[in-house]
Amino acid sequence: MKYKKIGDILILDSSYGNDDYLNLSKKHNVKTIMKIGHIQGTKREPVYKILFGSETETINKENGCLFKLDLAKVMWSKGNNNERLRIAKLVEDGETVIDMFAGIGYFSIPIGVHSNAENVYAIEINPNSYHYLCENIKLNRIDNITPILGDCMQVTPQYKADRIVMGYVKTTHHYLKVAIDSLNKGGILHYHETVPEKLMDTRPIERIVAQAGNRDVEILKVNRIKKYAPGVEHVVIDARID
């Protein structure tokens, strides 16, 4: 059986067929059992089914951070936990960071907890995710994150940053230009994309270079996160834009 435990809620793989949910809840010490079919739309809202229990709000602990969320309203990607900590550890003292597609603070909260960033502008379009972003800033007692409810395409150009995180994989390339334009000279971009394996070493890099225009691009790292689909990888490109 494939499953993931988020706080005190168990998310079952869609192929799981056993309906002995009471014993399953006792075995894993959870209050609710759910199946999440997929995440839909630009607001990344889950399509779900509750199999046992009724409460869908929980608090999940990861990398020394607390994340309050409602799994019926917002997404949670458990497979990205190493990447979230990796980025937080890269942030240097005094940096200004823009976290595009911030969600409930998947990247912003670890940056706030594990780094000495001067300020983190966390931009999120989904009001439900924004609510929990604000909750998680308070829950983790962080004072250097500025939560912003809005569209990254419109909000990002209002700021300048030393580092920009683009932690979204669908149509992310449409936001590359506004991100690069908001990077200070020598700033670092962390660009997420889902890429067919045969295009791994070309397409995401070519997209960054194309949107950088006359600015020099130095590729620092191509980081493979996980399989997204058969023959498709979720990758993160670390690039310095001079």
What is the predicted pLDDT for the residue at 175? 97
Q: How confident is the model at residue 40 (pLDDT cuts 50, 70, 90)?
A: low
Q: How confident is the model at residue 99 (pLDDT cuts 50, 70, 90)?
A: very high
Q: How many distinct structural domains can be found in the chain?
A: 2
pTM: 0.91
Are 147 and 187 part of one and the same domain? yes
Q: How confident is the model at residue 43 (pLDDT cuts 50, 70, 90)?
A: low
Q: Which of 40, 55, 70 finishes a domain?
A: 55
Are 15 and 127 part of one and the same domain? no
Answer left, alpha or beta for residue 176, where phi above 0 means left and psi between -120 and 50 means alpha: alpha
Q: Which of 211, 187, 172, 226 is nearest to 95 (CA)?
A: 187
Tell me the three state secondary structure of residue 235: strand
- Residues 182 and 48: their CA atoms lie apart, in Å, by 36
Structural domain of 29: 3-55
Which tens digit of pLDDT belongs to each residue from 122-137? 999 999 999 999 999 9
- Angle value at C-alpha 122, between 121 and 127, nearest 5 degrees: 140
Q: Is the pLDDT assigned to residue 140 strictly greater than 80?
A: yes
Are 137 and 42 part of one and the same domain? no
- Residue 72 within any structural domain of the chain: no
Are 204 and 133 part of one and the same domain? yes
Which tens digit of pLDDT belongs to each residue from 100-123? 999 999 999 999 999 999 999 999
Are 108 and 228 part of one and the same domain? yes
Strand partners, 8: none
- Residues 63 and 45: their CA atoms lie apart, in Å, by 24
What is the predicted pLDDT for the residue at 17? 65
Are 93 and 185 part of one and the same domain? yes
- Residue 118 within any structural domain of the chain: yes
Q: How confident is the model at residue 19 (pLDDT cuts 50, 70, 90)?
A: confident
- Residues 168 and 44: their CA atoms lie apart, in Å, by 10
Count CA within 13 A, CB hemisphere, residue 26: 3
What is the predicted pLDDT for the residue at 166? 97
- Residues 114 and 104: their CA atoms lie apart, in Å, by 17
- Residues 155 and 174: their CA atoms lie apart, in Å, by 14
Are 8 and 111 part of one and the same domain? no
